[in-house]
Amino acid sequence: MKDKINILTIITYGVILSSISILLNDMREFDFNQFTAFQNWAKAANKTDPWFTSKNAIKWSFYVISAALFFWRGYLIYGFSYFLSILKEIEIGNYFSDKNSKSFKKIGDIFTSYAASVLILRFLLASIGKSTFNFFQEFKTELTILIPCGLAFYILAELFKRAKATEEENELTI
Amino acid sequence: MPIRVNLDVMLAKRKMKSKDLAEIIDITTANLSILKSGKAKAIRFSTLEAICNALDCQPSDILEYVEN
């Protein structure tokens, strides 16, 4: 049992580290100099011009939304760290602890909020004309996995809560 | 809980110590204490049978229903 937990912990660490390295690489490839260009534009821009029609402002919105997408990906990786917490609890024998139930709920929250936020942000990206957005195409790809996974974690959280109550009842049966 | 455990009353009547009863019915003193204090959620028929056997009494002597 302990060997399996150790293997799962190593796999989880591998997933977290590779996700972080992919995210950092994507951030490295992202052109952050555009933010400086926007700041320079903002200083020189004519304040009487309508904000939304400005080409630079639209461009800036694209970078802000892209940065938000990076943030949500980071948040999703943070969600993976809860697996380590669950594995640690299992290792010490607290299978149905409150901590595990809360961790499963938290992972469910992160997965569903990530899926919903990414969907909204990609829609916004499409609306400012920087990407192609097809609602059904989005659902076909990663969101079809993340939303059911999030729901599965909510179900697991509820199951663990019930299991804890049953375990307590069993312990108090003389 | 509306079910009251009168185990301490029966133990006093039989002049038996909790520790001795725990040994006879083969449960820990901690579990017997949980049972006596009314914190137990349930009691197994086998435990009830062993208690009745050890104290020479009926289940109704140990368990009592009290209306809230």
Measured distance CA(A91)–CA(A87) in Å, rounded = 6
CA-CA-CA-CA dihedral for A152, A158, A159, A164, to nearest 10? 150
Q: What mean pLDDT is reported for chain A?
A: 81
Q: B34 — contact with chain A (CB < 8 Å)? A: yes
- Return the domain boundaries, chain A: 2-171
Question: Residue A166's closest chain B neighbor by CA?
Answer: B41
User: For the residues A10-37, what does the mean pLDDT come to?
Assistant: 82
Contacts of B34 in chain A (CB under 8 A): 172, 174
Contacts of B39 in chain A (CB under 8 A): 172
Contact A68, A121 (CB under 8 A): yes
Chains A & B: contacts with CB separation below 8 Å = 23
Contacts of B37 in chain A (CB under 8 A): none
**Quick one: tokens of B41?**
């959620």
Sign of torsion over alpha carbons A73, A78, A84, A86? negative
Measured distance CA(A28)–CA(A21) in Å, rounded = 10
**Quick one: tokens of B19?**
């520790």
Measured distance CA(A105)–CA(A108) in Å, rounded = 5
Taking an 8 Å cut-off on Cβ atoms, the answer to whether B27 and A169 are in contact is: no
What phi and psi, each to the nearest 5 degrees, are found at residue A24? Answer: -65, -40
Residue A11: its pLDDT value, please? 93
User: For the residues A79-88, what does the mean pLDDT come to?
Assistant: 91
Contact B51, B27 (CB under 8 A): no
Measured distance CA(A65)–CA(A103) in Å, rounded = 28
User: For the residues A99-112, what does the mean pLDDT come to?
Assistant: 93
User: For the residues A144-158, what does the mean pLDDT come to?
Assistant: 90
Q: Among A59-73, A83-97, A129-143, which range has the highest average pLDDT?
A: A83-97
Question: Residue B37's closest chain A neighbor by CA?
Answer: A172
Query: In this predicted complex, what is the ipTM?
Result: 0.75
Contacts of B35 in chain A (CB under 8 A): 174
How distant is the Cα of B44 from the closest Cα of chain A, in angstroms? 6
Give the end-to-end CA distance of chain B in Å, rounded to a whole number.
8
Burial code (b: 16+ CB inside 10 Å, e: under 16) for A56-68 equals: bbebbbbbebbeb
Look at residue A52 and tell me whether its pLDDT is greater than 60: no
Contact A68, A104 (CB under 8 A): no
Measured distance CA(B59)–CA(B7) in Å, rounded = 10
> A173 pairs with which residues across the strands?
B42
* CATH numbers and ranges of domains, chain B: 3-65 (1.10.260.40)
